[in-house]
Chain A
């Protein structure tokens, strides 16, 4: 699996009406050596990211404008994979920016009303 650790990483904390319509949750793959991004405007994001990172990975805070990161990733200039705990627009934009025939594979898991844990990897 391209150097990935396959391990379950978070207890499900999703609640509320919206959660009922989610598909069954699956374990999200993580990768050693890839920092876990988290949106530091959400206190819960850091806590989730710390659990996700464990002792093997570092954390990287982001807030607000991720345009430059998004462009670099989509263009293949940045890392081949990204892991994060943010609101949904971040992985959505990361994925949408890539050419339609080279979209990265997105695995997404809802943590609460606002936050999603996600993993994006370029496969082409």
Chain B
């Protein structure tokens, strides 16, 4: 058990008094201490757990309770780290950035407040998971689809706030967000966009309202606590055809990406499609030791054996068509012809895949918004299942993708790690999400993972590639890579932080944004 770390600057008496106030607000059974805090650890921490330990967690049930908790936190100076489902695995899970921070757990706030089928939206509390929302929609027989990340156990609100991604045409989750209710650090509550107008019935329909658009500053941030959020849902289309295209050679990556760009920019590829590396696909149904037991990265001979066994390529593109059949026919013809220009490209439907557990059969579910946990199996690749995500962004450009790939592959190989990645295709960019897989029971593996991750952040930044999201261990380092004009953006973020949260109680250190109270070596 990690020793108790109190919030910085608090006496034990003040801390216990604050906990007593929290208990009065939410009820004894919803303030957690001691052994119950194991659920708030980062299971994949690559540093000493004590660096991210929490002394308590408090779980309110309503926005009013959140307001009351925030007021007490202000009174005593108790820092709060907000989580919802707490499934931000690979980026820190439910653990706070700063030791001694109390976790504000919003999982009990799990009400589906409204679903509008005609306009295609839901209004949700942050504790609603993709599984919850999917089950609700199925039980009611509503003709709406979700967009889900992989795995689908997280919070719909939380994932959008982290600017996560999914796989349908609605795959950019923050883009599909519309309207928030936010508890501010002073305990006040506000609604954004059209929600700021008392009689408006367009809160979940028009994102921008009037004046400066505020919603963005509450994503990946520590400026407020989102207690309600609108999310657009996709009307069930009249037709759906998932497909996979495999490419046989490592060097095909460059051409694949260049073929892909005009298809995506012109909306021929409708969904948030993905290009997945050999081992990320293989890792869902196999483990490394089944193919290679020696040190160092997987050799070419083993890679060839994996490709043959699983009938997959060095790169594997998973996309889908949506709409009336004549529309899908046209889009598929253009897509197929474009990718057929790449030697060795092979095209598959789910029915053409020979293995019961084939990844296309799984992706056929996620690309239509069915939440699953299937993909989580990739964490078993080396046994002992640890992972953290390294996620640089680049243009949809073949040369850039190859440059990133080689840079990361070689650096990982130097440290004995395999390259498992997905290129998630955004509207104009690539999220290159690399899963660094390590044995979480092996301290040496964790040490190496920490070291190589830091090097990759630095090298990527030197080449102009910034991470879109990162693990709590690297939030400061990544924030410092966004350094244009003497860190003007970070200074602006700190100015906002100090104005909105002068006592620095909300999620200190989130995304590298520290309140003044902790900024100078706090």
Residues of A within 8 A of B (CB): 17-18, 21-22, 41-42, 63-67, 70-71, 87-89, 92-93, 96-97, 99-101, 103, 110, 112-114
12 new A-B pairs (CB below 8 Å) besides A21-B443, A64-B362? A18-B439, A22-B441, A64-B374, A65-B373, A67-B372, A71-B131, A88-B379, A93-B373, A100-B57, A103-B38, A113-B287, A114-B287
Please, how many angstroms separate the alpha-carbon atoms of A47 and B385 in the complex?
22
Query: Are A65 and B357 in contact (CB-based, < 8 A)?
Result: yes
A89 / chain B contacts, CB cutoff of 8 Å: 376-377, 379-380, 385
Chain B interface residues (CB < 8 Å from chain A): 29-30, 32, 36, 38-40, 43, 57, 59, 86-87, 94, 105, 107, 131, 151, 153, 284-287, 289-290, 356-357, 362, 371-374, 376-377, 379-380, 382-385, 439, 441-445
Chain B residue at minimal CB-CB distance from A100: B39
Q: How far is the CA of A86 from the CA of B399 in the complex (A)?
A: 41
Bound CA–CA A70/B376 (angstroms): 12
Which of A17, A64, A101, A110 makes the CB contact (< 8 A) with B377? A64
Q: How far is the CA of A112 from the CA of B288 in the complex (A)?
A: 13
- On whether the beta carbons of A18 and B383 are closer than 8 Å, the reply is yes
Min CB gap A72→B, angstroms: 11
Contact A92 B441 (CB under 8 A): no
What are the residues of chain B within 8 A of A42 when measuring CB–CB? 287
In the complex formed, the residue of B with least CB distance to A65 is B374
Q: A41-B286, A100-B105 given as contacts; is B383 within 8 A of A63 (CB)?
A: no
Q: Assuming A18-B441, A41-B286, A70-B373, is B356 touching A63 (CB within 8 A)? A: yes
Task: Check if B289 sits within 8 Å of A113, measured CB to CB.
Answer: yes
CB-based contact B442/A18 at 8 Å: yes
8 contacts between A and B (CB under 8 A): A21-B442, A22-B441, A64-B377, A65-B362, A65-B374, A71-B131, A97-B373, A114-B380
Smallest Cβ distance from A111 to chain B, in angstroms? Answer: 10
Which of chain B's residues have a CB closer than 8 A to the CB of A97? 153, 373
CA distance A93 to B356 in the complex (A): 21
Closest to B374 in A: A65
Question: Which residues does chain A contribute within 8 Å of B443, judged by CB atoms?
Answer: 21
Q: How far apart are the CA atoms of A87 and B380 in the complex, in Å?
A: 6
B285 x A67 contact (CB < 8 A) = no
Contact A87 B287 (CB under 8 A): yes
**Across-interface contacts of A113 in B (CB, < 8 A):** 287, 289, 382-383
Across the interface, which residues of B come within 8 angstroms of A63, CB to CB?
356-357
A67 x B373 contact (CB < 8 A): yes
How far apart sit A99 and B36, CA to CA, in the bound complex (Å)?
12
Q: Which residues of A contact B29 (CB under 8 A)?
A: 101
A22 nearest CB across to chain B (Å): 6
Q: Which residues of B contact A112 (CB under 8 A)?
A: 289, 383
CB distance from B352 to the nearest CB of A (A): 18
Q: Are A64 and B153 in contact (CB-based, < 8 A)?
A: no
> When chains A and B are docked, how far (Å) is the Cα of A100 from the Cα of B39?
6
Choice from B153, B357, B441 contacting A96 with Cβ under 8 Å: B153
Would you give the shortest CB distance from A58 to chain B, in whole angstroms? 22
Q: Taking A63-B357, A65-B362 as contacts, is the C-beta distance between A100 and B86 under 8 angstroms?
A: yes
How far is the CB of A79 from the nearest CB of chain B, in Å?
18
Q: A41 to B289, Cβ gap below 8 A?
A: no
A113 to B383, CA, bound (A): 5
Query: Among the listed B36, B362, B442, which residue makes an inter-chain contact with A101, where contact means beta carbons less than 8 Å apart?
Result: B36
Q: Which 7 A-B pairs have the closest CB atoms?
A: A64-B357, A87-B380, A100-B39, A113-B383, A65-B374, A88-B385, A67-B373
Instruction: Judge whether B384 and A88 touch: CB under 8 Å.
Output: yes
List chain A residues, Cβ under 8 A from B357.
Answer: 41, 63-65
Name the one of A70, A87, A88, A103 contacting B39, with C-beta atoms under 8 angstroms: A103
Give the complex CA separation of A88 and B38 in angstroms: 18
A88 touches B380 (CB 8 A): yes
A64 touches which of B151, B285, B289 (Cβ 8 Å): B285
Nearest CB of chain A from residue B8's CB, rounded to whole Å:
25
Distance of A17 Cα from B442 Cα, bound (Å): 8
Give, as a whole number of angstroms, the nearest-CB distance from A89 to chain B: 5
Specify which chain A residues have a CB less than 8 angstroms from the CB of B59 in the assembled complex.
101
Chain A residue numbers with a CB within 8 Å of B39 are: 100-101, 103
Q: How far is the CB of B280 from chain A (nearest CB, A)?
A: 14
Contact present for B441 and A21 (CB under 8 Å):
yes
- Chain A residues with CB under 8 A of B385: 87-89, 92
Smallest CB gap from B441: residue in A: A21
Specify which chain A residues have a CB less than 8 angstroms from the CB of B374 in the assembled complex: 64-65, 67
Contacts A18-B442, A65-B357, A67-B373 given; does A92 touch B107 at CB 8 Å: no
Instruction: State A13–B437 Cα separation when bound (angstroms).
Output: 23
Q: Assess whether A100 is in contact with B40, with CB atoms less than 8 Å apart.
A: yes
Given known pairs A18-B442, A65-B362, A114-B289, the reply for A88 and B383 (CB within 8 Å) is: yes
Instruction: Please tell me which one of the listed residues A93, A96, A101, A114 contacts residue B32 in the complex, with CB atoms under 8 A apart.
Output: A101
Q: Is the CB of A96 within 8 A of B87?
A: yes
Which listed residue (A64, A92, A93, A110) contacts B284, Cβ 8 A? A64
List the A residue with the shortest CB-CB distance to B29: A101
Q: Which residues of B contact A66 (CB under 8 A)?
A: 373
**In the bound complex, how far is the Cα of B442 from the Cα of A21, in angstroms?**
6
> Which chain A residues lie closer than 8 Å to B373 at the CB level?
65-67, 70, 93, 97
> Please, how many angstroms separate the alpha-carbon atoms of A70 and B153 in the complex?
11
Q: How far is the CB of B61 from chain A (nearest CB, A)?
A: 13
